[in-house]
Structure 1
Amino acid sequence: MATALEKPAPAVESLPAGRPRTGLRRYWHLYAAISPFYLLFLCFGLIPVGFSLYVSLHRWDGLGPMEWAGLSQYQYLLGDGDFWQSVGNTIVIWALATFPMIFLAMVTAVMLNSAVRFKNVYRFAYFLPNVTSVVAVAIVFGSVFSTNFGLVNALLQAVGLDQVAWLNTPWGIKIAIATLMTWQWTGYNAIIFLAGLQTIPGELYEAARMDGAGPVQTFFRITLPMLRPVLLFVLVVSTVTGLQSFSEPQVLLQNTANESTFSGGPGHAGRTMVLYFFQQTFDNNDFGYGAAVAWGVFLVVILFSIINWRLVQRRGED
Structure 2
Amino acid sequence: MTLLEARQVTTPARRSGSAPRRRAAGGRAGYLFVAGYTLFLLAFGVFPTVYAFYLAFTNNLGQFTGLNQFIKVARDYRFLPAFGHILAYLVLWLVVLVVLTVLSAVLLRSRVGPRTSAVLRFLYYIPGALAGVASVLVWLFMLDPDVSPVSWLLTALHLDSFAAVLSPGNLPVIFMLIAFWTGAGGWIVVMYGALNNIPDEVIEAARVDGAGPWRTAWSVQIPMVRQWIVYMAILAFASGTQLFVEPQLLQTASLGRVSPTWSPNQLAYVFAFQQGDFNGAAAISVFLLAVGLIAAGLLVSRSSMFRLDEK
- TM-score by length of structure 1 reads 0.78
Task: From the superposition, tell whether residues 124 and 78 of structure 1 become closer, same or farther in structure 2 (CA, over 3 Å).
Answer: same
How far is 1:136 from its partner? 0.7
* 2:129 is equivalent to residue 138 of structure 1: no
State the 1:36 CA deviation. 4.0
Question: 1:58 aligned to 2:54?
Answer: no
CA distance in 2, matches of 1:284, 1:66: 18
**Partner residue, 1:278:** 269
- The structure having more radius of gyration, on CA atoms, is 1
Label 1:138 to 1:34 Cα distance change in 2 as closer, same or farther (>3 A).
Answer: closer
**What is the deviation of 1:152?**
4.4
Counterpart in the other structure of 1:23: none
Q: Deviations over 1:135-191 (max 9, x none)?
A: 01101101211244434442243xx55225454311112211111011111111111
Supply the AA of the counterpart residue of 1:163. L
Q: What is the rounded CA distance, in whole Å, between the counterparts of 1:194 and 1:169 in structure 2?
A: 37
Q: 1:234 to 1:77 in 2, by over 3 A?
A: same
Equivalent pairs: percent with the same residue? Answer: 24
Give the structure with the higher percent helix. Answer: 2
Inter-partner Cα distance in structure 2 for 1:302 and 1:144: 35
What is the CA-CA distance between 1:67 and the residue it aligns to? 5.5
TM-score by length of 2: 0.79
Query: Is residue 249 from structure 1 mapped to residue 247 from structure 2 by the alignment?
Result: yes
Structure 1: distance between partners of 2:301 and 2:95: 17
Which range is displaced more, 105-114 or 32-41? 32-41
**SS in structure 2 of the partner of residue 59 of structure 1:** coil
- Gap runs ≥5 in structure 2: 1-16, 18-23
Greater shift in the superposed pair: 76-85 or 177-186: 76-85
Judged with a 3 Å threshold, the aligned counterparts in structure 2 of structure 1 residues 275 and 214 are, in CA distance, closer, same or farther, namely: same
> CA deviation digits over 1:225-262, x for unaligned, max 9?
1111111111111111111122122223322244xxxx
Alpha-carbon RMSD = 2.9
Q: 1:310 to 1:253 in 2, by over 3 A?
A: farther
Q: CA deviation at 1:273?
A: 1.6
Counterpart check, 1:106 vs 2:112: no
Deviation at 1:37, TM superposition (A): 3.7
CA contact (8 A) 2:145 2:154 kept: no
Q: Does residue 200 of structure 2 align to residue 209 of structure 1?
A: no
Distance in 1 between residues matched to 2:125 and 2:157, nearest whole Å: 33
Secondary structure in structure 2 of the residue aligned to 1:162:
coil
Q: Is the 8 A contact 1:166 1:176 kept in 2?
A: no
Alpha-carbon separation, structure 2, partners of 1:140 and 1:41: 32
Q: Give, in angstroms, the shift of residue 204 of structure 1.
A: 1.9
Structure 1 spans left out of the alignment, 5+ residues: 1-18, 20-25, 259-264
